[in-house]
Amino acid sequence: MSSNATEARHGKAEGLDTREPAEILRLLAAGQQQAAKAVDDAIPAIAQAADIVASTLRSGGKLFYAGAGSSGLMAMADALELPGTYGIPREQIVLLLAGGISSLTDMEGAPEDDVALAKKDAAIVGRDDCVIAVSASGSTPYALAVADIAHRRGARIVAMANNAGAELFKRADVAILLETPPEVVAGSTRMGAGTAQKMAFNMLSTLAAVKLGHVHDGHMVNLRPDNDKLRARAARMVAEIAGIDMDEAGILMGSAQGSVKVAVLLAAGAPGTEVAKALLARSGEVLRVALSELQANKSSMKRA
């Protein structure tokens, strides 16, 4: 029997294959729900990790996601969403996936043991960067090697694993332990462990985006509106935040060249896009702070 919880046998799995479909599904659902609760205990660590991620991106460093297999897929899902959702430059988000992108058509297990590949992949990590290394077991050779090399190169390391005392944590500035229970199908960490990882990634990157000023009253105000659905969403955000109608919001979005933040500032009285951009630059790209400065400037002009 494995000492790792991610490989242990679930206490209610005996005879699983003989049960009625609905009973199996209820057990599977319960396993996912129990795994999700593991995220609660990791909140302090996730908050620390978000600080590191935000400061790295703010200073122009790169955010690397490193993983293999199912954990690598969870990392990839988060990495691919950030540029579109929060307008983070694509060149600042780098995915290191064991076996490379070509491995996605056939998720072979061998690449996760490829330390030589990990060393090659991690050679582009710099001292101003942050690496989020993820492994359900916390002992995947690829993730361990990337974290080790990145640490030696001076990068900050965030480690995410589902086993207490994971080897991966020894290399970490922040250790995110997601102590999920044994899987209903032993070792199938794409299930409960993957669910907890996906939640933790969602929470970490969203909090980092909040710290970077990319969220305002629950709106993703730094999104990249590059299709009809997102252009409509951007206009709705401007309308709701600025208290104007959709037609005016659409016109302002055109003037702002697709920037929700700039369009909101124009609606609030900024006398042009360059002034709006300057307000944002002084505010650290935080819309609320820029709006406050704009209102203060307008009030002082009235008094004068």
CA distance 179 to 4: 11
Residues 6+ apart with CB under 8 A from 30: none
140 and 112 in contact (C-beta within 8 Å)? yes
DSSP one-letter code for 112: G
Specify whether 81 is catalytic.
Answer: yes
Specify whether 7 is catalytic.
Answer: no
Residue 156, helix vs strand vs coil:
strand
61 and 126 in contact (C-beta within 8 Å)? yes
Residue matched to tokens 């996760």: 112
CA distance 158 to 12: 34
The DSSP string of 201-212 is HHHHHHHHHHHT
Catalytic residue among 112, 167, 179, 285: 112
Catalytic residue among 7, 81, 240, 248: 81
Largest CA distance in the chain: 82
C-alpha closest to that of 213 among 304, 293, 287: 287
CA angle in degrees (0–180, nearest 5) for 53-192-111: 70
Residues 6+ apart with CB under 8 A from 166: 135, 137, 138, 139, 159, 175, 177
The DSSP string of 12-76 is T-TTGGGS-HHHHHHHHHHHHHHHHTHHHHTHHHHHHHHHHHHHHHHTT--EEEEE-HHHHHHHH
Residues annotated catalytic, as ranges: 81, 112
